[in-house]
Amino acid sequence: MTIELDGATRLVPIVGDPIAQVKSPAGMSAAFAAAGRNTLVVPAHVAPADLPTWMAGLAVTRNVDGLIVTIPHKFAVHGWCTTVSDRARFLRAVNVLRRNPDGSWHGDMFDGLGYVTAAKKAGCVFAGASVLLVGAGGAGTAIAQSVAAEGPARLALHDADTARRDDLIARLAATGAPVVAGGDDPRGFDVVLNATPLGMRRGDPLPVDGAGLAPVMFVGCVVTEPKVPPLIERARALGCRTITGADMFREVRDLMLAFLLAADG
């Protein structure tokens, strides 16, 4: 397939801070080309303080058909959406936007669904399991919602921002989910998931106590760079089944592509 670039090219930026670590521009652009669309996905490095100005410019850029959102903007960009899915409304966060017929934004969030799909394909069983999830940010909130829908016996949430963690616990508990506050000790859990950026930068501590990992656990991490984050490297050395951020992203990518293509459906 050939990726075109001409005056008729449509654009779908991916916005984040930082942005150099993302892998989606090439893969998503190729996926659009395979679907017969002259659409490019391009990275945009925008700091939180500059996001309102950038979003205002994006709204009036007529060859921008959609937007992919990564850290730390998933909560903030939700506020620019005129309409959202039920999932995004509960999460108060989005990771992909497309145009409504009137040019306003419609948003959805696929991080959780993509993560759970990837984990299940790798042999993870959430139903009846005891799950520790570290991180209650944009990705963590979405993953928590999707994991809760799988029927775990216990879902423990840990985040350094306890107010954010407790807000998520309260909202999930209101749906009947067996959710509690957790810590960084993975002992006693069947599934251990990292939804924080820890592991992206050299010298980052592990998001959980590595000494508490055990071979019977399923361990997942959202970090995409390095390809094998330190948590996953430690878990694999013990014989754990694992998924990386790249495994998650493959599933999320397919969901986002279908969402963006549906604008023409």
* Residues forming the active site: 74
Surface-to-core class of residue 251, CB atoms within 10 Å of its CB (0-12 exposed, 13-18 middle, 19+ buried): buried
Residue in the block written with tokens 């963006």: 260
* Closest of 190, 200, 205, 262 to residue 228, by C-alpha: 200
Comparing C-alpha atoms, which of 174, 189, 195 is closest to residue 128? 189
Phi-psi region of 64 (alpha: psi -120 to 50; beta: other; left: phi over 0): beta
Alpha-carbon distance of 33 to 56, in angstroms, equals: 28
Pairwise CA distance, residues 110 & 251, whole Å:
9
DSSP H helices in the chain? 24-34, 51-59, 74-78, 86-91, 111-121, 138-148, 162-173, 230-238, 245-261
Contact of 126 with 157, CB cutoff 8 Å:
no
Query: Hey, what are 181's tokens?
Result: 């506050």
Contact 78, 92 (CB under 8 A): yes
